[in-house]
Structure 1
Amino acid sequence: MTEAPYIVLAAGGTGGHMMPAEAVADVLTNQGCEVFLITDTRGDAIRNAMADANRLVLKTSSHASGGTLSKIRAACSIIKSTIQVRRHFGERRPAVVVGFGGYPSMPAVIAARLKRIPYVLHEQNAVLGRVNRFMAEDARVVALSLENSQRVPKGAYTEVTGNPVRHLISKLSNIAYAVPFGFGEIRLLVIGGSQGARILSDVVPPAVAALPEEMKSRLEITHQAREEDVERVVAAYTEAGVKHRVQAYFDDVGSLLLRTQLVISRSGASTIAELSAMGRPAILVPLAIAADDHQSVNASVIEDAGGGWVMTERDFTPEALTEKLNFLLADPSALRDASDGMREIACLDASERLAGIVMSIVEKERTAP
């Protein structure tokens, strides 16, 4: 009897890395693999991603910011974590290691390379991240979420798989978008990624408050805010007389998107993948300090497809957002067209494609002389 393939997934830091890993883990598990997670403390704290997976939690830190001493500490943490992972691989050798980018994946991928274990990299964004760029040339496959991804090393072998979305999202993806015609509710979702976004809490409530009374009476807003901002956001919506639900964290994003008619959000990779899968039009506010400005590139893909509207942080003011909302909510056909544009770039079988790459490597390794 053939032993179940032992596959290690390395992801962490944010939901943008963890959610695709969870989606691929589900497919691999259903195909008879044993899946193990290597993550960091932040990834370990994300409650709705791979909660039941066996794991190794590393103490890694990014060297992307801070002074010389911070960078030295970060490098030491990666070296220490790489030794820890290499020891783990010595005790049990994986068939394949899959890195989902970010610094928490680096020790696992370096350890795989040192021990000659085949590894695959997945890039969620339209611009290849620093860790994936560094490790790309020796990867069996660099799996890209988008055609024409930027900053891919010339020597890397790439395949376009799309960005895996969770099973719940893909299952709900065929449900039609409800255009807000007539005098019914207009359901708006404000979400800033796994950590929320302060600028959304600063700008959206006053923008909504300035809308015409007839429009405000129809609005129902669900808003993810940072814990420290929840109270003031609730107060602002209450004063504006708008129906609202404000929380620091939502673990039912799939069901929220199902009801939503317009999203205001950052343009992280997982957010983009889920919005396109569900066909939900969006106003996107790219994070200005994102590495290599990748959120702006992500957002431009959506705008070019007609799936949404991009507002830079500089231009994202209450007055500008009020004007944009007035236009969109008064003309539902624009929202319907944007929903269609979102769906055109969705890749609903990305999990299966990436899992297929992993399994093909497993089979090649088993039959190699």
Structure 2
Amino acid sequence: MKAFFDERQLGHAPSFYFRRGAAMPHQEQPQRAEILRDMLLREGFEVAAPQDHGLDPIKAIHNPDYVDFLPDAHARFVESAGEDALAIPTMHPGRRRGKEPADIHGQLGWWMTDTSTPLTEGSWDAAYWSAQTAIEAAEEILSGERAAYALCRPPGHHAMRDCSNGFCFFNNACIAANYLRQKFNKVALIDIDVHTGNGSLDILYERGDIFFCSLHPDPANYPTFYLGHADETGEGEGAGKSLNILLEMGADEAAVLEALDRGIAAISDFGAEALVVSLGFDMAADDPLAGVAVHAKGFGQMADRLAAMSLPTVLVQEGGYLGPSLDDNAQSFLTSFRAALK
């Protein structure tokens, strides 16, 4: 199982963001990807840089105007606000009546939902190559490989069609799932990050060709809030093609594995021909953003269950922050998945 990663993904280096009204160190640091990359090399995975597949696969998922806003947004912000200011939105249009303004500060509020995606000098390159990493992994599947791992950083599953959200700029998993539709009629995306895959739900909610399932605590009381409730099952052609499986706060491995089995059964009923996994190691009990309590052995069991589906699979990295067990959890999942392929 080949892995993909581009060193330019380390260029997004936000120093802080606001959480519950307080400024705090940003959780989504380049070191996350370095830990995962170094584990892959230590465990004998081949790690390759992705090719450049351009903007078309990204714009197939995201509003093209949103995509075009990002490349020079940081430079324009610095020109207006200065080097010491934090490139975050400080005003918002409410529930999206109105039009995109020309001013950079208004544009930040138009295209960005919160303070967790501050733009830095390297943010565009990092987000772009994170998406290319997911596309390259999907290309590996289209070429006939059974599985591939995309070490995507920054992550993607909170990014909606036309806005950044929750550390995420481009929805790498949705981009990969849509890319797989070139070959597969039915694709499933299962999100095992501890947070709701709210961006994926937003993007896929009316699609009947990509089944979406997310395991997460109740968004009524746990970030990212707003989306991911049990009664949100899709609309139009997507009716019945979205499944949110709610976990109790602090749920143990047995409860998480039971929920995963429910998701796998639903994907089987859908008749999926290929699979994308939004892989979040923030399910870990000691993750800084922990909501449930999975340990290294449990991540290995999750990998075994997903590999046993015997579907062509793209693993797309989402969360998993700088907790003590990040290396161990990633090693357990990825080596277990690789072993199950043999």
Structure with max Cα Rg: 1
Q: Greater helix share, 1 or 2?
A: 1
**TM-score normalised by L of structure 2:** 0.31
TM-score of the aligned structures, taking structure 1 as reference length: 0.30
